[in-house]
Amino acid sequence: MNWIDKIKKIRSLPLVGLLITILLSSIFLITINYYSLRTMSAVRAYINGESNYSKGEKEATISLLYYLHSGEKNHWDNFKSYIDIPVGDSVARNALLSGGARERAREGLLQGQNHEADIDDMMWLFENFQDIELMEGAIDTWRQADSVINRKYVIAQEIQASINEGSIDSKRGAFLTRINENGKVLTELEKEFSANLGAGARSIRTYLFYANVIIVLLILTSVSIYVLAFLRRLELQNKQLQNANKELDRLAYGVSHDLRAPIHSMLGLVNVARVESDSSKFKSYLDMIQKTLNKQERFIKEMITISKENRLGVKKGIIELDYLIDQVIGLHEHMPEAKGIKFSRKIGVHRVFSDSHRLEIVLNNLVSNAIKYHDPNKEKKKIEIITRSEGDNVCIDVADNGLGIEGRDKTKIFEMYYMSSDRKKGSGLGLFIVKEAIEKLQGKVEVKSVKGEGSTFTVVLNK
């Protein structure tokens, strides 16, 4: 595909879908903000209305107290004028609860001295939110307050009757007590009403904030997806080529590195056969060569299979570790470089549930590395493979008394193509392949090493 075709393909990206998403998100954002602001305005109006309700009730109480002591008609008229404010709100509440008589509700709210511009928002909030937390508690408190207001009106009527009968002097103390108790109850209910509305207003503010954040994130996400798709179209082929080259590098290294071991083993057997004077042993050497060739053929097939399986995921099964370790040692012990190295094993755990192909490649690489970097100056050279249990993990140690690793190199030896100044024998891919294979097995590989004393590589797998 040439660059012109690529540009045409990029232009065909779903720009219309992006614009539609942004448009719908913007409409949704505007709608949420509109109704949220309307709700906040209505809550503010109710808080102001509660202030008028409370002020009217307090003024009515003062006028009633004046009337109780003086019996003057103007105080009674003042009481009726002020008590009409909370009574009007009560009329509006009952009209709205009945689901109709909106004009009656409007008249009641106006009687409660609520601002005319706020009436529609107040009725809208009541009708749409009366059954949810925002208004349900406040409405119930409002109902209780109206009931106390009605009791205050009853007290006022009893006072008026007593004044008209001339028996007020004997009852004045009892009336004062009832008025005070009534006022205390109303004060608490008024506080509760304001607290409920205040909590509702804070909740709305929080919901509004999160709604705005979500919508903005939705818009940003849509734009980001479009941009990422745009860039991905440009980079997709390049990434595919890089992945293919990386896979080829790994496969080529696996074939060149891991096939070298059996070839060296066979060369060792040929050299032994050449100097062997007993012809009766030739057959055993040929059998060993045949066995190695069979392993080599199997390994080639397995490498091809592993390359394919890298795209398909890990295939796990029960692995007999003692058999696998015997295979690994048998593959390496006849290599010319392994001459004089004593191989041993210590099997503390016999089985593990993992991918046998990948685990065999890991152990082959670790043993091959141990041979490659053995210390030729030591009289007793050794490589030991140990399996052991550690909590919920199975650990496989490949330990040697070879050259060891410099401290500064320990954190870098698993990087692709990394080779320290004193370790130039390999290609720098072996330990990288070990690390990648172990990560696919959801395990880890650790190393402990002392320069001049040897190294221990530990493969950690979940049981």
Q: How confident is the model at residue 418 (pLDDT cuts 50, 70, 90)?
A: low
CB of 335 within 8 A of CB of 371?
Answer: yes
Answer yes or no: is pLDDT of 58 > 70.
yes
**pLDDT tens digits for 98-115?**
876 788 889 999 999 999
Q: How large is the average pLDDT for residues 241-251?
A: 62
CB of 395 within 8 A of CB of 459?
Answer: yes
Q: How large is the average pLDDT for residues 34-51?
A: 81
Q: How large is the average pLDDT for residues 344-354?
A: 93
CB of 397 within 8 A of CB of 386?
Answer: yes
Q: How large is the average pLDDT for residues 389-410?
A: 89
CB of 123 within 8 A of CB of 102?
Answer: yes
pLDDT top residue among 132 and 60? 60
Q: How large is the average pLDDT for residues 223-231?
A: 68
CA angle 335, 338, 341 (to 5 degrees): 150
Nearest to 175 by CA among 73, 70, 64, 82: 64
pLDDT top residue among 285 and 199? 199
Answer yes or no: is pLDDT of 180 > 80.
yes
Residue 347, SS3 per DSSP: strand
Q: How confident is the model at residue 257 (pLDDT cuts 50, 70, 90)?
A: low
CB of 39 within 8 A of CB of 135?
Answer: no
Q: How many CB atoms are located within 10 Å of the residue 174 CB?
A: 12
* Nearest-angstrom CA–CA distance, 63 and 81: 10
Beta bridge partners of 386: 346, 397
What pLDDT does residue 457 have?
94
Nearest to 146 by CA among 231, 50, 220: 50
Q: What are phi and psi of 218, to 5 degrees?
A: -65, -45
Percent of the chain beyond pLDDT 70? 76
Could you list the beta-strand ranges (E) of 7-85: none
Look at phi and psi of residue 71 and say left if phi exceeds 0, alpha if psi is from -120 to 50, else beta. Answer: left
pLDDT top residue among 182 and 417? 182
* Nearest-angstrom CA–CA distance, 164 and 73: 11
**pLDDT tens digits for 69-94?**
998 999 999 999 999 999 998 898 88
Q: How large is the average pLDDT for residues 191-208?
A: 75
* Nearest-angstrom CA–CA distance, 367 and 398: 7
281 DSSP assignment:
G
Helix (H) or strand (E) holding 134: helix 133-165
What pLDDT does residue 292 have?
72
What pLDDT does residue 396 have?
95
CB of 83 within 8 A of CB of 58?
Answer: no
Answer yes or no: is pLDDT of 4 > 50.
no
**pLDDT tens digits for 168-177?**
988 999 999 9
**pLDDT tens digits for 268-321?**
767 777 776 676 676 776 777 777 776 666 556 545 544 554 565 678 899 999
| Strand 381-390 versus strand 341-347 pairing type | parallel
CB of 87 within 8 A of CB of 107?
Answer: no
Q: How confident is the model at residue 322 (pLDDT cuts 50, 70, 90)?
A: very high
Nearest to 255 by CA among 222, 304, 217: 304
What pLDDT does residue 37 have?
76
